Amino acid sequence: MRNWRTAGLLAVLPLGLATTTAQAAPAAVVQIEITRDLGEQVIPYDKKVDETTVGGLSGLDHDPKTGTWYFISDDRWRHQAPRFYTGKLTFDAQTGKLTAAELTARTWLTQHDGSSYPKYGEKESPDPESIRFDPATGRLLWGTEGHHAGTSHPNALTQLAVRWMNTDGKEQSKLTIPDNLTVTAGTTKGPRTDTGFEGITLTPSGIAAIVEQPLYQDGDAVSAKQGGPVRLTVWKRDGTPAAQYAYMVDALPTESEPADPADNGGVSEVLAIDDHRFLALERSWTKRTGYRVRLYELDVSAATDVLHQDSLRGATYTPATKRLVKDFPSPQNLESMAFGPKFANGECTLIVGSDNNFSADEKTEFLAYAVKGC
């Protein structure tokens, strides 16, 4: 397997974490398995960085050369303008334990000309939901999930997007979004509001993004009665769509009584292991039980390419396979996930982070694990 996540690194610490690695020889495929809990760190509620409120962190990734971590907020001008933070996650060099989490600087997300994106409630106002650092180019990739217009914001229709930007936050280009992911004014085709791209990831040869819930034309919204197919789209490096696969998300664990319209579930993040295997973070919330989060390994090797299949309702296709890796006990609103430094024995650190919804009742936390098969 190509060691594409740590390109450019040169040596390892004898007992603990790898600081640099040589080009790895191809290895046999090993299923992802969590081997150790490496602890957690919590960011205090209402923490300020560069006069902005830290919260809503919905994506994270790091530069393996510099050790810089990037954290994107899903704030849509409700507190401040769209932004990401840079900082550091510190791991003990011998044990791998996560010992500190610091956010130290804020960077605004801006358009090609350096201007701000449209504000909340305006057309094409972004809703940032994931961020990735590309070691090959030094650029960042981020996604927005799209929204329908509503009675209070009749002009707020926003399309799904995956954008390249420089580390100064300025947009450089966008990927081409398949027609079946177009947000429409109706309720028969395209993504439901707030359920578009929740997760994006870089693969060895391309880019992938996953929607949170089934498209209107693919199935009903996730409920306690049924899960449904969500689409994982794969692009070539030049931004053109290459393939699309269906992944079956779980049903909600329970139904609130009386029914609560806020009950929801789906995929909150995706992380590539190689070109065919991914980690999918499935998160649900019901008024009755609170959050449930499960981590799955999915494989699209034998899945049907549905890129040119407009609707999956009643269609014949083979979805990606899935295998449970971890069921998180008493979780927060887990929305971000990234691999961190590697161990000398070949294992990776896996970081999972939560979005506190800017609420004092929820936490911004980072959970760390040692995993093999990465």
Mean pLDDT of all residues in 227-235: 99
Sequence ranges of the domains in the chain: 33-372
Mean pLDDT of all residues in 349-360: 98
Confidence of residue 1 (pLDDT cuts 50, 70, 90): very low
E strands, 27-170, in order:
33-43, 48-49, 52-53, 57-62, 69-73, 83-91, 98-108, 128-134, 139-144, 161-165
Cβ contacts of 321 within 8 Å, gap of 6 or more: 298, 299, 302, 303
Tokens, residue 290: 């609170």
Is the pLDDT reported for residue 8 higher than 80?
no
How many CA atoms are closer than 13 Å to the CA of 11, on its beta-carbon side? 2
- The pLDDT of residue 13 is 36
| Block residue for tokens 């994931």 | 130
Contact between 106 and 83 under an 8 Å Cβ cutoff? The reply is: yes
Mean pLDDT of all residues in 52-72: 98
Nearest CA to 212 out of 222, 202, 203 is that of: 222
Is the pLDDT reported for residue 301 higher than 70?
yes
d(Cα 127, Cα 124) in Å, to the nearest integer?
9
Mean pLDDT of all residues in 29-33: 91
Answer CATH for 33-372 from 3.30.2000, 2.40.50, 2.115.10, 2.60.40: 2.115.10
Tokens, residue 243: 């393939």
Helix (H) or strand (E) holding 260: none
Is the pLDDT reported for residue 201 higher than 50?
yes
The sign of the dihedral angle between the CA atoms of 347, 234, 355, 53 is: positive
Confidence of residue 26 (pLDDT cuts 50, 70, 90): low
Is the pLDDT reported for residue 7 higher than 50?
no
- The pLDDT of residue 132 is 99
Strands 241-249 and 264-272: unpaired
Mean pLDDT of all residues in 88-110: 97
- The pLDDT of residue 27 is 58
